[in-house]
Amino acid sequence: MQYELKTQVIEPQRQTFTHIAKRYGDKPASRYIEGSIDVQPKENFQYRPTWDPTREIYDDSYSVFRLTDAYSYLDPRQYYYAPYVTARSGHHEAFATSLEYIEARGLLERLPDGWRSVLDELVLPLRHLESAGQLILCGMARFGWGATVTQAAAYSAFDRVGNAQVLSRVGIALGGGTADLLAEAKEHWLQDAPLQGLRRMAEETIVETDWGLALLRLDAVDRLVYDLLYQHLDDQAVVSGAPAYSLVAQHMASWFADNRRWIDALYTAWREDPELGATNAALLAEHGAAAVDTALEVVTPFAARIDELLGGSSAVDRITTTAAEVRAAHTGAAA
């Protein structure tokens, strides 16, 4: 008896979900698209929130920044749960490897006094700024409009917890395996003058009811602080005998570069909206510039303390230059 093997191709009745096909045509779609597009609740709400009965429980008016079509914005990283978790797992495994090397070689103990003080007094307390960032982005994830926007904010909120853990692990390693330095870092955050502007900004932004304005304020501070600590000081650490600092900084810098992608794409979507672009651009110019001015005000004492500890004057100059660049990016878009 002979057998003949044949391949039979069964054509699917449809390539994707109906609501995806209406937007993009009946063709295969990525999992990111299928899990993100048109999942924002829009109707059949049973009640309005008692704390703001003028709005629906989900409402596009929780921010002055709006899009004609919320799904004209897509996260350029195409993150949904699986690739996000995979990417962050790799990131933190790489950091763990670096930390193991730092501890094995005793590099933290070899830090010059000024660099040790920068870590103790200024960098470790920023784990509380990261925690504030988590709450701010959770607010955006809750009150934002459009799943592509809110899920990007939610993943960024998770990231801030991870960043706080990175700084905590550095503090524990620097403290000889104890949490003593983390307790001291909390007191620095609560009491030290160079940090009080940042703490005030963080607490005020947590309770900002407009998620778009809150994002602008957090982003403005991030752009000054991350550039200062994990780019500018990274360069200085390489030539100043502080390789342990540089090894930590590279991981924070790589996260920040990745995080900027979804925020920059959102700003672009706001500006290029076919109906609301001009309004959004004007709002970005106004509120973006104000956010940068506030960020520069609160970060300047922080940078001045770095200059004092390291015996230079470049930190204040660096944040002033960065602030001018960010301000120009916001205001130039509306010109």
CATH of domain 81-331: 1.10.620.20
d(CA 93, CA 250): 14
Distance CA 132, CA 12 (A): 48
Q: Which residue has the higher pLDDT, 111 or 266?
A: 266
The yes-or-no verdict on residue 10 having pLDDT over 90 is no
Average pLDDT over residues 115-133: 97
Provide the 10 A C-beta neighbour count for residue 196: 15
3-state SS assignment for residue 303? helix
Residue type at 8 in one-letter notation: Q
pLDDT at 201 (0 to 100): 97
Sequence-distant contacts of 254-261: CB under 8 A, at least 24 apart? 254/91, 255/91, 255/159, 255/162, 255/163, 256/222, 256/226, 256/230, 258/77, 258/87, 259/156, 259/159, 261/75, 261/76, 261/77
More confident residue, 10 or 143: 143
More confident residue, 1 or 80: 80
Average pLDDT over residues 245-257: 95
pLDDT of residue 7: 83
Q: What is the full DSSP assignment across 245-257? A: HHHHHHHHHHHHH
d(CA 237, CA 244): 8
Kindly report which listed range (119-123, 139-143, 284-288, 308-312) carries the lowest average pLDDT score. 308-312
Structure tokens belonging to residue 212: 């778009």
What's 300's DSSP letter?
Answer: H
Of 119, 229, 216, 131, the C-alpha closest to 175 is 119
C-beta pairs of 60-64 under 8 Å, 24+ apart in sequence: 60/145, 62/143, 62/144, 62/145, 62/209, 62/210, 62/211, 63/143, 63/144, 63/145, 63/210, 63/211, 63/212, 63/213, 64/210, 64/212, 64/213, 64/283, 64/287
**Residue whose structure tokens are 């106004």:** 286
Alpha-carbon span 200 to 217, nearest angstrom: 12
Cβ–Cβ under 8 Å, residues 189 and 125: yes
Q: What are 48's two structure tokens?
A: 């309005």
Here the tokens at position 325 are 């660049």
Tokens of 85: 């978790």
pTM: 0.92
DSSP string, 80-106: -HHHHHHHHHHHHHHHHHHHHHHHHTT
For the chain, give the mean pLDDT. Answer: 94
Question: Is residue 243 predicted with pLDDT exceeding 70?
Answer: yes
**For residues 162-177, average pLDDT:** 95
pLDDT at 334 over 60: no
**CA nearest to 77, candidates 272, 258, 268:** 258
pLDDT band at 123 (very low <50, low <70, confident <90, very high): very high
Does position 335 have pLDDT exceeding 60, yes or no?
no
Confirm if 146 and 140 have CB atoms less than 8 A apart.
no
Whether the pLDDT of residue 249 is over 80: the answer is yes
Helix axes 211-227, 243-272, angle to 10 degrees: 150
How many CA atoms lie less than 13 Å away from 84 in the CB half-sphere?
20
Higher pLDDT, 3 or 196: 196
Span 262-273, mean pLDDT? 97
Read off the pLDDT band of 9 (50, 70, 90).
confident
291 vs 47 pLDDT, higher one: 291
For 46-77, what is each residue's pLDDT tens digit? Answer: 889 999 999 999 999 999 999 999 999 999 99
pLDDT tens string 181-224: 999 999 999 999 999 999 999 999 999 999 999 999 999 999 99
| Mean pLDDT on 265-289 | 96
Contacts within 8 Å (CB) and 24+ apart, 85-89: 87/258, 88/158, 88/159, 88/162
pLDDT band per the 50, 70, 90 thresholds, residue 115: very high
What is the percentage of the chain residues whose pLDDT exceeds 70?
Answer: 99
Question: Would you kindly state where each structural domain of the chain is located, as residue ranges?
Answer: 81-331
